[in-house]
Amino acid sequence: MTYSLAVRFNNLFEIVSKKGINMSADQDILVTIEQHIMSISFNRPEKKNAITDAMYHQVSDAMKQAAEDDDIRVVLFTSEGDDFTSGNDIADFLRNDINIKEAGVGRFLQALRSFHKPIVAAVKGSVVGIGTTMLFHCDFVVAATNSVFAMPFVPLGLCPEAASSLILPKLAGHQLASELLMLGEPFDAEKADKIGLLNRLVDKREVKLQALALCQKISALPVESVLLTKKLLKMPGTDIGDRMQTEVRHFTRLLGQPAAQKAFQSFLSK
């Protein structure tokens, strides 16, 4: 990170705090939009950013807006204070008045799973429960070296969620996935990196800036190509022949589009 980049992004944060759609300091979720990037920040540091039912609903509302607004190209998940999140609010788990069908967590996971634009996460400190499993649905993860991940579902008498029992074995292999999901013990950023969960491992002072730099890089790319690439990456099915044909179909169509034509001309005129 160069000094000028850091200054530029600090300025960006100043602008963001003026233009955000929800910047009241007493909000548990802060949402800001700037330069095609929607930033969704967990802001409950006194509770390690534990996520309540109301917070899940607020995040889901923001994601709905981001999905529908063509001006928003990337979503950044970030946090205030020292931690990303300590996961689901345990007091909420104890309440029995939440209708599971209408619970915010279900809406949030559905929004994550079906979100068609790139998602970047900037994590640090405690990254617990859904704090870790939501990362399986992000496209880029920038983590601070002080991050501590954990999926303590089984010790809490629960079981894996967010399709982590499907996705983690593919990333980490069956044995490591069993260890992380059954024992539920904390693991450090180095281990998360080794599993393949992280894109960047950086100092905690740089995590938000590096994630924003990544968001800017993504938002400057040809939008249709980015969206299509995410769609292809998430497309189920294992048949290589079918996938090649699908790719060729889209590739051929994109060849004639203005974004590609502009890129070719720009290269050839150098």
- Contact residues toward ligand COA (CB under 6 A) are 47-48, 50, 86-91, 126, 128-129, 152-153, 156
CB of residue 123 vs ligand COA: minimum separation in angstroms? 13
Residue placing its CB nearer to ligand COA in the complex, 28 or 139: 28
Tell the smallest beta-carbon distance from residue 131 to ligand COA (Å).
8
Q: Which is nearer to ligand COA, 94 or 233 (CB)?
A: 94
Is the CB of residue 216 less than 8 Å from the CB of residue 37? yes
Query: Is 44 in contact with 28 (CB distance < 8 Å)?
Result: yes
Q: How many secondary structure helices (H) and strands (E) does the chain include?
A: 12, 9
If the CB atoms of residues 34 and 82 are measured against ligand COA, the closer one turns out to be: 82
Per the CB < 8 A criterion, the answer to whether 83 and 126 are in contact is yes
Q: What is the DSSP string of 195-243?
A: HT--SEEE-TTTHHHHHHHHHHHHHTS-HHHHHHHHHHHH-----HHHH
Interacting residues of 163 by C-beta distance below 8 A, sequence separation 6+:
113, 133, 136
In angstroms, give the least distance from the CB of 38 to ligand COA.
Answer: 25
Give the number of other Cβ atoms within 10 Å of residue 240's Cβ: 8
Least distance between ligand COA and beta carbon 88 (Å): 5
Q: 177 or 215: whose CB is closer to ligand COA?
A: 177
Residue 14 or 179 having the CB closest to ligand COA:
179
Q: What are phi and psi of 148, to 5 degrees?
A: -125, 115
Chain position whose Cβ is nearest to ligand COA: 129
User: Taking the complex as a whole, how short is the minimal distance between the CB of residue 135 and ligand COA, in angstroms?
Assistant: 14
Amino acid at 188: D
What is the nearest approach in angstroms of ligand COA to the Cβ of residue 53? 12
Judged by beta carbon, residue 118 or residue 129, the one nearer ligand COA is 129
